[in-house]
Structure 1
């Protein structure tokens, strides 16, 4: 009976912006296979990562919880992952053969998190490269399956051979080895091998988890060639953004802010787009093989990214900030066999989030959703003839602890209010008419009622938080931010 359930394929990429889909109107990026998933499926145009960095975003995917529920409200490595209900665990209990290929970013690194098997490549993580501060069992030489495989092909190879830091968002160069050895190709090669060795008597849940387009920006030369001469649009610069760079921060290869030399930024952006097209083509490769195995029409597919990449927007880079380039992500559901009655080609405007992945995929498979889950199934927004009246959240609260840049934000996809908890700075964006967040309208006279409304929403959201950001009447500036809440350290 379990074999009658659909296979479930979750495809995630790391650090892909919401707008880098040609079907969403990007003037340069080519994503033909993702376009096809959106054209014949449902695209969620207002998808966000509530805590936009790798660890908390993946905690939301694994648990279906909000950031207050899973407890990771910033980026902090080496905090054990112990959750009662996880996405792969629920599938395994329901009779699925479960497999992850690629990035997990959990702790300990080889924690199965409910999967039957994990073929791991987390990319370069600083905490497991430091030989002087970690147990041998957590060192990258021990835990990373891609690196072990790569060294069998190229003796002595390492993740640092290109000289690019894993956070070098404004520096790029082409991949130096044959394309088939690139980590993007490896994820698909290993995923195809799973199709060969899976239990044919069970449906499968496969999480195909790419490390790119997260830096290092190292696309194969053929993909970089596609964009090097393209007319790449300049990043948007808001009236609130930095106007000069006295510390020359933009010259650092790992700059998180600053004015980067134009030629360097153009090449980095070209490489970022090239990595996305490379992933797109490899997804197409996997879809071909899935069809050859006769499983395509029996598979429900969800594609998304864990967070975005600012890539120079407002002279900012990487993630963790509340702006659209950082927090907003692509999100597509496709059902080739038409099992779910989705309205194909629909573009959904309601706000969805990482916590919605677990209940969506369990719903698609007819597997009960645990009571611990805070998210909801996005399928109710996509069903033919039903989505318009589906009850849904009216706003999303997002945040990220990050020193002086620690922030909280609330949005309904049309407006966004931002509060920086350490400085008290506020921002307000009318996303409907200003989608690139070019104007901070927080002082505009005709916006004061809306600013007060959203401030009151955030005050209520934070009232019970242990940091003391709110007393229920006002926001309190300067409370010490936490990356991890106390209830998951117990």
Structure 2
């Protein structure tokens, strides 16, 4: 049987990787030489976003091509079944691709395959704890832990160093580097390349948990940053409004001003993870080349969301601000221009139609995302704006951006924010009450009213935004997606 000549697809996902954390993007501290090279050989997108920036809702958008209001996940909530009939992997499987996932899935039930023919699972600490609370053996929801025990003994764990999975506490990895979860994902992905069916094209999803906490990269990666020069994180003129949620004594808090020493260690752990992932991605790409597969493989690198990392005294994710919502995105492969940098506004829901189109496959009618293949973007009208949201701190953060400006509405209090991203990319200056911005803010507000009209929370009444409505992270899924492009920003 002759091999199928259709392109292979390798989707590489990191978890919690900020959009500005690539040295090719000008980051002053982090070093990512191999991703920089991939970007130089392909196309990098500077305005890529996670519309619901935490793990589960972001991955739902990635795997379904649906907007958050359609797939129903508008915040973070565990134990909600993933019962979507049409998925990214399912379409590749249906069209004769061999499909494999390795690493973090963060779905429920934990062994749900989402259309993949096979999954080698690494479940992070929070999922393993949840399994124990539900009376499940953690080995049933994770493949990395039994793999580790085969090498270190039956009592081995990857969290006995005590670092929490949502903490700013950091320390170097306490075991041999080849046993790190990052290496596990890369090596198991490389092994798939060895034992795959060579007569079929493949879709491989290599999903790293890093740089998500625990901040425990190998010592070499941690140590190269602990004494590195790091600019102070931005602190906006609006941060006083977050004081009621501050918990500086809680290392898992969303809000808190921490010491310079603590923040330096957290950043060293975070950036160290990135350098480690960067090197392991290079290992995987070299394996791809070694097996003669590189030239006919579409490669996409991205993250599910970012990390505030002390910006504006905020940590973790779920926020509408750039550190949380903007993600790295690189596309490489047949037909993708080399060395191109684009500022089109794209999002995770666009990945499914992009990769299907790159493989020459049809895009299901249910998909709401838009392909970001450069040739497709050049032939289409630009997206006028992107709507994002997330429930957090007892309310819903609703936001809109066209890549140049951003409007934010806090549903709990009705507080509004307006940022000029071109002049102020760190969102340090809230212009909502500044002279000359009233009309612009009003136009963005009108767009949000249109987006939220008819929502079950009751965010809109008689054409106006209504604050103080109860919110929840999972809503009723729309049975029929709202099709069509976003309306232009009112003149």
TM range (shorter): over 0.9
SS of residue matched to 1:401: strand
The yes-or-no answer on 1:458 pairing with 2:448 is: yes
The equivalent residue for 2:156 is 157
- Supply the distance in 1 between the matched residues of 2:475 and 2:243 (Cα, whole angstroms): 35
**TM-score scaled by structure 1?**
0.94
For 1:429-451, what per-residue CA distance to the aligned partner results, in whole angstroms no more than 9, with x for missing partners?
Answer: 01111100010100012111110
The Cα RMSD (Å) is 1.7
Shift of 1:254: 1.1
The equivalent residue for 2:180 is 182
Shift of 1:22: 0.4
Residue in structure 2 matching 1:473, options 450, 453, 463: 463
The equivalent residue for 2:297 is 299
The yes-or-no answer on 1:396 pairing with 2:397 is: no
The yes-or-no answer on 1:54 pairing with 2:55 is: yes
The yes-or-no answer on 1:422 pairing with 2:422 is: no
- Supply the distance in 2 between the matched residues of 1:488 and 1:457 (Cα, whole angstroms): 21
- Supply the distance in 2 between the matched residues of 1:388 and 1:369 (Cα, whole angstroms): 19
Shift of 1:278: 0.4
SS of residue matched to 1:287: helix
Task: Note if contact 1:239-1:439 (Cα within 8 Å) is conserved in structure 2.
Answer: yes
For 1:157-179, what per-residue CA distance to the aligned partner results, in whole angstroms no more than 9, with x for missing partners?
Answer: 223211111000x2100000000
The equivalent residue for 2:24 is 23
- Supply the distance in 1 between the matched residues of 2:406 and 2:245 (Cα, whole angstroms): 30
The yes-or-no answer on 1:35 pairing with 2:36 is: yes
The structure-2 alpha-carbon separation of the partners of 1:405 and 1:467, relative to structure 1 and needing over 3 Å to count, comes to: closer
Shift of 1:135: 4.9
The equivalent residue for 2:257 is 259
Gaps of 5+ in 2: 480-491
SS of residue matched to 2:204: strand
Task: Note if contact 1:242-1:315 (Cα within 8 Å) is conserved in structure 2.
Answer: no
- Supply the distance in 2 between the matched residues of 1:349 and 1:131 (Cα, whole angstroms): 44
The equivalent residue for 1:117 is 118
The equivalent residue for 1:484 is 474
Aligned length: 477
Gaps of 5+ in 1: none
- Supply the distance in 1 between the matched residues of 2:408 and 2:145 (Cα, whole angstroms): 40
The structure-2 alpha-carbon separation of the partners of 1:140 and 1:392, relative to structure 1 and needing over 3 Å to count, comes to: farther
For 1:265-293, what per-residue CA distance to the aligned partner results, in whole angstroms no more than 9, with x for missing partners?
Answer: 10110111010010000000111111110
- Supply the distance in 2 between the matched residues of 1:445 and 1:247 (Cα, whole angstroms): 30
- Supply the distance in 2 between the matched residues of 1:387 and 1:396 (Cα, whole angstroms): 15
- Supply the distance in 2 between the matched residues of 1:57 and 1:244 (Cα, whole angstroms): 24
Task: Note if contact 1:2-1:95 (Cα within 8 Å) is conserved in structure 2.
Answer: no
- Supply the distance in 1 between the matched residues of 2:462 and 2:83 (Cα, whole angstroms): 31
Shift of 1:202: 0.2
The equivalent residue for 2:277 is 279
User: Following TM superposition, where does structure 1 have runs of at least 4 consecutive aligned residues deviating by more than 6 angstroms?
Assistant: 243-248
The structure-2 alpha-carbon separation of the partners of 1:212 and 1:108, relative to structure 1 and needing over 3 Å to count, comes to: same
Task: Note if contact 1:404-1:423 (Cα within 8 Å) is conserved in structure 2.
Answer: no
- Supply the distance in 1 between the matched residues of 2:413 and 2:241 (Cα, whole angstroms): 20
The structure-2 alpha-carbon separation of the partners of 1:84 and 1:442, relative to structure 1 and needing over 3 Å to count, comes to: same
Task: Note if contact 1:250-1:261 (Cα within 8 Å) is conserved in structure 2.
Answer: no
SS of residue matched to 1:251: coil
- Supply the distance in 2 between the matched residues of 1:6 and 1:389 (Cα, whole angstroms): 23
Deviates more, 1:475-484 or 1:293-302: 475-484
The structure-2 alpha-carbon separation of the partners of 1:447 and 1:247, relative to structure 1 and needing over 3 Å to count, comes to: closer
SS of residue matched to 2:301: strand
The equivalent residue for 1:308 is 306
SS of residue matched to 2:464: coil
Q: How does 1:232-271 map to 2 (within 5 A)?
A: 232-242=230-240, 249-271=247-269
Q: How does 1:329-408 map to 2 (within 5 A)?
A: 329-335=327-333, 339-340=334-335, 342-379=336-373, 382-383=374-375, 387-408=377-398
SS of residue matched to 2:111: coil
Task: Note if contact 1:244-1:259 (Cα within 8 Å) is conserved in structure 2.
Answer: no
